[in-house]
Amino acid sequence: MPNHVSFVEKYLPYILIAPALAYMLFFIGYPLAEGLHLAFTVNGVFSLQNVEYLISSPFSKFWDALTDTFLLVLVIIPIQVAIALGLAMLFNMKFPARHVALYLVILPLTISDVAAGLIWYSMLSANGFFNKILLNIGLIHQPIYFFGYQYRPMEFLAIVITEVWRATAIVFVILFAGLQMISRDHIEAAEVFGATPWQRLRYIVFPMLKPSLQAALLIRTLFAFQIFGVVWVLAGRDIPILAGEAYYEQVELHHTGVAAIYALIIAAISISIGYVYIKLFKAQYLEEGR
């Protein structure tokens, strides 16, 4: 009996993590291995043909897609974090109709990226709601054109507006939950010692919000690098992005190996960004224990 108990105690941790390991091997490990196989083999033989096509082919938009994807992420993420943090601070206070306003802020989470793209396409088109309002009140005398290859900067703006409207709620929910976890005792103690609102935000709220900010940035950035539906609906290949080019190479051109390389690049970028976030926004109590 004692030997049986010691055996269970010895292998119980491995038994408990076995389902998680099986999930990771099947849903992450196998697709990753298959992606590497597709990317670097042609007819079962190791080859860099797909890499050469990706980098040097005149039909490939890899460099444009890489640039535009990073540009979208660099523009969208700071805007979303700033808006989400401001909304979280606002909703952390009590005011009339707070729950109704909270529901309206979270509502875009229920809408898919394709549906969001279609909504804003109809609103921003030449005959859309946005142009009609501006024309009726006399602010403009002809429609503002957002879509078409000759209007790529406006298409980019339309994508940013749509993504900020659609996905800021993800960041907001995480930051708002993090604010709820900060005890009022810390804030009140700082008020007693004469700390200004900015000092309370900088030295109390922000350090204690670091884990939530880390999670919000990590999740939102990973999703941002995978952005596809909104861009495809609003701009198509006028603004090439990594996920969009992967779809185009696979579905339209049937270049499975090239599409696999795009997927691997997205995965590598996501892992690298995640590592940076984890190191940059490590909570104070974790930094002291390292």
Coil vs helix vs strand at 228: coil
- In this structure, the answer to whether residues 123 and 222 fall within a common structural domain is yes
Sorted by sequence, the CB contacts under 8 Å of residue 31 that are 6+ apart come out as none
- In this structure, the answer to whether residues 139 and 19 fall within a common structural domain is no
Residues 135-159, mean pLDDT to the nearest whole number: 92
Residues 210-224, mean pLDDT to the nearest whole number: 89
- Rounded to an integer, what is the distance from CA 18 to the centroid of its chain? 29
- In this structure, the answer to whether residues 167 and 223 fall within a common structural domain is yes
- In this structure, the answer to whether residues 21 and 67 fall within a common structural domain is no
pTM of the model: 0.86
CA angle 192, 195, 200 (to 5 degrees): 110
- In this structure, the answer to whether residues 37 and 76 fall within a common structural domain is no
- In this structure, the answer to whether residues 170 and 275 fall within a common structural domain is yes
Of 47, 62, 84, the position where a domain reaches its end is: 47
Q: What is the pLDDT of residues 92-133, one digit of tens each?
A: 888 888 889 998 999 998 899 999 999 999 999 999 999 999
For position 285, what pLDDT does the model report?
45
Q: How many domains does the chain have?
A: 2
The secondary element (H helix, E strand) that includes residue 41 is strand 41-42
- In this structure, the answer to whether residues 250 and 192 fall within a common structural domain is yes
- In this structure, the answer to whether residues 17 and 58 fall within a common structural domain is no
Domain, as residue range, for 111: 48-288
Residues 199-227, mean pLDDT to the nearest whole number: 87
Confidence of residue 275 (pLDDT cuts 50, 70, 90): confident
- In this structure, the answer to whether residues 13 and 136 fall within a common structural domain is no
Of 10, 27, 47, the position where a domain reaches its end is: 47
Residues 203-229, mean pLDDT to the nearest whole number: 88
For position 208, what pLDDT does the model report?
85
- In this structure, the answer to whether residues 17 and 82 fall within a common structural domain is no
- In this structure, the answer to whether residues 168 and 27 fall within a common structural domain is no
101, 78, 109: which is closest to 173 by C-alpha?
Answer: 109
Tokens standing for 70? 């990073």
- In this structure, the answer to whether residues 133 and 266 fall within a common structural domain is yes
Q: What is the pLDDT of residues 253-267, one digit of tens each?
A: 999 999 999 999 999
Question: How far are the Cα atoms of 33, 102, 167, 228, 278 from residue 224, in angstroms, in the given order?
Answer: 24, 24, 9, 9, 17
Residues 24-46, mean pLDDT to the nearest whole number: 91
For position 283, what pLDDT does the model report?
55
